[in-house]
Amino acid sequence: MLVKDVMDKSYPSLYADELATKARAILRETGIRILPIIDDEHRLIGIVTRSDLMTITSSVSPIRVQGVMSQPKFTATLDMPVENAVRQMIRLDEWYSPVVKSRQERLYMGVLGLEHYISAVINRGVESLFKPLSEIMSTNVVTCSPEDEIDNVWRLMMEKSFAGLPVVRKRKVIGIITHKDLLDSGAAFPGFEAKRGRFKSPPKVASVMRVPVHTLKPNSLIREAAKLIVKKNIGRIPIVNDRGELVGIVDREDVVKALLGAGG
């Protein structure tokens, strides 16, 4: 199975000289997590991510995409075996990779996401899909409170390289907050244009967190998590006990590691 067999070939892109606010609007409207940046000849020259764009505080910012874009840690090619590409992505802690026609041409062709690989193998009867989540979940979970200010949560996400955190009150999961929720909130974060946001008192997590939360139990199967990730387009699933208390978390990377470990 090759990258071109599972990738998203209709994934949007943007030119480097376009406004960063346009990139932000695309990410908000589509829910995508990265946006490949191309030149006039449709060659890949960089990417922007949700976190890159959260530093843009104004709806009329003059900043161009090239001012916030970065270089992808990994770029896949059409004819690369998808397992090889996904292993590289996991090694670099990247959930998405732009895809180019060849290393030489760097003609942009689309994007490969971990969920594309999960979707491709979910019905193959891979043995590891029928193992319990307790075997792959992380138990040392970083969380936040609904009363936390979102700029502090943003800072925590940046420090820990997390794209989302469960929101917990008295050990029970009551919501989840992600880069997308912060981007959609319109809140300003320290960056290019301002040392402080537009808010005298920053909003609380409770005002932007997502509810209800999709959760699973430790004895739920990896296959259930894989299906939920693909169907709901979610990055992580809190694992709770019978009392609704948080006992772990499973993300896309955990599921893919399990599939690869089974010789996927």
> Reduced to 3 states, what is the DSSP secondary structure of residue 106?
coil
Tell me, yes or no, if the two domains 3-121 and 129-261 fold the same way.
yes
Domain assignments of the chain as residue spans, ordered by start: 3-121, 129-261
Amino acid 262: pLDDT: 56
Please state the pTM of the whole predicted model: 0.89
* CATH class of the domain comprising 129-261: alpha beta
CA atoms of 222 and 2, how far apart (whole Å): 24
Amino acid 60: pLDDT: 64
Amino acid 194: pLDDT: 44
> What stretches in the chain show pLDDT beneath 70?
57-60, 187-200, 262-264
Amino acid 191: pLDDT: 46
How many CA within 13 A on the CB side of residue 74?
19
3-121 homologous superfamily: CBS-domain (3.10.580.10)
Amino acid 158: pLDDT: 87
CA–CA distance from 40 to each of 9, 49, 211 (Å)? 19, 21, 42
Amino acid 200: pLDDT: 59
CA–CA distance from 98 to each of 22, 46, 72, 242 (Å)? 19, 9, 8, 41
